[in-house]
């Protein structure tokens, strides 16, 4: 008698979220992207479906990223004065599946740019690339609350992924998404209970939004507590697969943002000879962080270095190959 | 603990009247109400007052399904009535119930296999309800063996250790908890468990309090489901809380509301 190999069975699945909208649905994207829909743990194709491959969004700023290390800046030096050209380069040259546009200029401590300026940039980027967009504010809630609504209105129907809704400040982003047909990033501070509660709060504003939420569990870079993020993500995913509707959302992680502020990514080989070449090390640090998170169920990776993106895309290609038996 | 809503039962006057007059409204109202309160199944029992139990069961199943998508738990000692109900069920149902008596098990497990139904098995036989846990577990094992012999996955079998009113059979209480624990060791995967919750408080003055305390104590011993009053808010909140404390659900501030809405 043949040995029957035990397979885990789950009774539920992760919600499938569609990002972007084509002209058929009131947008201008050349295509949409689906994330989520898993019926088993990541890449265990023999236990269930992983119908949609994880995607990589490359980060684009609307100001010159002065603080980025030279080896990262060099990848965009011909375009980083121009968000539209930068986005185009990411898609056409570096193979980004999506663009994550960050309105750093709106930061009151940087340029305090008015929302009208941000809208011009957003429209240029939308015109320059056909991929679905993620739109982040400057990260300062007070200002972001004033710009997310107008940005959402200016791109009505595009089904942007708007970031971020937090437990203490979710209404402006959620209502912008609701009113102008976008999706929402629900961010919680490495806390599964808050992640769940936030999804409930958003769904209480609008039940249909439940199918347009992407969870940002807040991730850490390799060496900085990634195991906490990992275990939170794993627990959320087990919850989703076992029927917890309020945690059954795809997940997004700001890999580039976390990695590129850490000393392992920045410090030169002269300062730390034992660590090896900084350019190679930093890229590997970003790629390794991303790959670990893929195993925990990350659906959208927001990344920066094209070299790291390339490595992770190759890895996703391999992981998505059928291993069912 | 999965709540099997007990309210669609001909023992209740409004349901008995609805069955007599073929008026679907009270039935459908209770179906919706129990679903909204977090019931996972709806128990369907035509009650004692009906002459033609077969056609009454068929009617009850049909009108309930118009109002709710929940799976049904067909509750009768008349297996012809259960079979009539199974025939019209749109989703796999649960058969309530069969004792560990061979000819009854043969009839019920045959039906269960045919209609892909789950089965509630009672830890009793011709001699009645045993007093101690060991004898209850022995009967549970007979149910498990028969279930398996009919090719039905063991996790589709729900064993009811049979709780008696606490003011009559007080000494049965600890035996029931012990039985629940031991049932989980009978097979791998183990059978599931259930109880008729309101039995425990029959004839007492603190029925709701006794019901919900028993429910959470039994959950800690491995109780998977109970036929009970889904509209008892305190019971539902206690069950939701016990699920959090047993790490069955992930905590969030609105966990009671989440529990109630889980089947919707």
- Per-domain residue ranges of chain A: 16-319
Give the largest CA-CA distance in chain B: 50
Q: Tell me the ipTM for this assembly.
A: 0.84
Q: Which residues contact residue B145 at a Cβ distance below 8 angstroms, ignoring those fewer than 6 apart?
A: none
Overall average pLDDT of the A301-324 stretch: 96
Are A192 and B257 in contact (CB < 8 Å)?
no
pLDDT above 90 (res A4): no
Overall average pLDDT of the A85-98 stretch: 98
CB B195 within 8 A of CB B221: no
A193: nearest CA partner in chain B: B252
Q: What is the pLDDT of residues B217-260, one digit of tens each?
A: 999 999 999 999 999 999 999 999 999 999 999 999 999 999 98
CB B147 within 8 A of CB B191: yes
Nearest one of A55, A64, A36 to A96, comparing CA atoms: A55
Nearest one of B154, B137, B160 to B43, comparing CA atoms: B160
Length of chain A: 325
Residue B48 has a CB neighbour count (10 Å cut-off) of 10
Q: What is the pLDDT of residues B3-32, one digit of tens each?
A: 999 999 999 999 999 999 999 999 999 999
> Whole-angstrom Cα distance, residue B142 to residue B122?
10
Class of domain A16-319: alpha beta
Q: Is the pTM of this model over 0.90?
A: no
- Specify the 3-state DSSP secondary structure of A76: helix
| pLDDT at residue B264, as a whole number | 57
State the count of interchain CB pairs (< 8 A) between A and B: 30
Distances (CA, A) of B129 to A267, B136, B137, B175, B245: 75, 8, 11, 12, 32
pLDDT above 90 covers a percentage of chain A that reads 96
Q: What is the pLDDT of residues A147-202, one digit of tens each?
A: 999 999 999 999 999 999 999 999 999 999 999 999 999 999 999 999 999 999 99
Are B254 and A244 in contact (CB < 8 Å)?
no
Distances (CA, A) of A253 to A17, A292, B128, B138, B182: 16, 11, 60, 53, 45
- Specify the 3-state DSSP secondary structure of A235: helix
Show which of residues 249-308 on chain A sit within 8 Å of chain B, judged by CB atoms. none
Helix (H) or strand (E) holding B218: helix B207-220
Interface test with A, best of B192, B248, B250 (most A CBs within 10 A): B250
Distances (CA, A) of A263 to A272, A288, B23, B42: 10, 15, 74, 59
Residues of A in contact with B258 (CB under 8 A): 196, 200, 245-246
| DSSP 8-state secondary structure symbol assigned to residue A108 | T
Distances (CA, A) of B174 to A175, B212, B220, B227: 54, 16, 13, 20
């Amino acid at each position: 008698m043949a040995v029957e190999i035990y397979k885990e069975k789950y009774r539920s699945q992760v919600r499938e979220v569609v990002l972007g909208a084509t002209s058929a649905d009131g947008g201008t994207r050349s295509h949409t992207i689906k994330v989520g829909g898993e019926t088993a743990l990541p890449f265990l194709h023999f236990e269930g479906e992983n119908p949609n491959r994880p995607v990589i969004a490359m980060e684009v700023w609307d100001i010159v990223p002065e603080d980025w290390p030279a080896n990262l800046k060099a990848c965009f030096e011909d375009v980083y004065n121009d968000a539209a050209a930068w986005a185009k380069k990411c898609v056409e040259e570096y193979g980004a599946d999506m663009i994550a546009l960050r309105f750093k200029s709106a930061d009151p401590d940087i340029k305090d740019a008015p929302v009208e300026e941000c809208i011009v940039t957003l429209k240029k980027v939308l015109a320059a690339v056909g991929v679905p967009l993620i739109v982040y504010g400057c990260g300062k809630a007070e200002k972001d609350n004033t710009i997310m609504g107008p940005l959402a209105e200016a791109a009505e129907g595009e089904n942007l992924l708007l970031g971020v809704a937090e437990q203490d400040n979710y209404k402006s982003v959620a209502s912008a998404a609701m009113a102008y047909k976008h999706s929402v990033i629900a961010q919680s501070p490495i806390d599964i209970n808050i992640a769940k509660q936030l999804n409930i709060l958003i769904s209480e504003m609008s039940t249909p939004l439940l199918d347009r939420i992407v969870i940002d569990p807040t991730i850490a870079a390799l060496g900085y507590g990634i195991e906490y993020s990992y275990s939170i993500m794993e627990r959320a995913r087990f919850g989703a697969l076992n029927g917890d509707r309020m945690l059954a959302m795809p997940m997004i992680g700001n890999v580039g943002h976390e990695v590129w502020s850490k000393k392992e990514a920045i410090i030169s080989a002269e300062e730390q000879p034992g660590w090896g070449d900084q350019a190679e090390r930093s890229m590997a640090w970003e790629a390794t962080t991303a790959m670990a998170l893929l195993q925990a169920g990350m659906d959208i990776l927001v990344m920066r270095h094209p070299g790291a993106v390339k490595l992770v895309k190759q890895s996703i290609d391999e992981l998505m190959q059928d291993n069912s038996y | 603990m999965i709540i099997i809503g007990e309210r669609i039962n001909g023992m209740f006057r409004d349901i008995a009247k609805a069955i007599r007059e073929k008026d679907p409204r009270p039935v459908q109202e209770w179906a919706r109400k129990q679903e909204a309160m977090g019931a996972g199944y709806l128990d369907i029992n035509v009650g004692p007052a009906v002459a033609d139990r077969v056609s009454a069961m068929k009617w009850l199943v049909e009108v309930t399904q118009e109002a709710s998508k929940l799976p049904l738990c067909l509750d009768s000692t008349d297996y012809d009535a259960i079979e009539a109900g199974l025939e019209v069920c749109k989703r796999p149902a649960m058969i309530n119930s069969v004792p560990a008596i061979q000819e009854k098990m043969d009839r019920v497990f045959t039906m269960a296999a045919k209609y892909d139904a789950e089965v509630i098995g009672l830890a009793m036989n011709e001699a009645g309800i045993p007093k101690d846990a060991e004898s209850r577990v022995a009967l549970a094992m007979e149910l498990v063996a028969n279930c398996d012999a009919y090719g039905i996955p063991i996790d589709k079998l729900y064993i009811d250790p049979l709780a008696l009113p606490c003011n009559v059979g007080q000494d049965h209480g600890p035996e029931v908890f012990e039985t629940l624990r031991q049932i989980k060791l009978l097979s791998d995967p183990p059978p599931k468990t259930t109880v008729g919750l309101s039995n425990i408080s029959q004839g007492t003055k603190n029925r709701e309090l006794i019901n919900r305390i028993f429910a959470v104590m039994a959950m800690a011993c491995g109780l998977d489901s109970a036929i009970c009053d889904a509209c008892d808010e305190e019971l539902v909140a206690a069950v939701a809380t016990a699920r959090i404390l047993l790490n069955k659900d992930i905590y969030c501030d609105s966990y009671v509301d989440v529990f109630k809405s889980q089947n919707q």
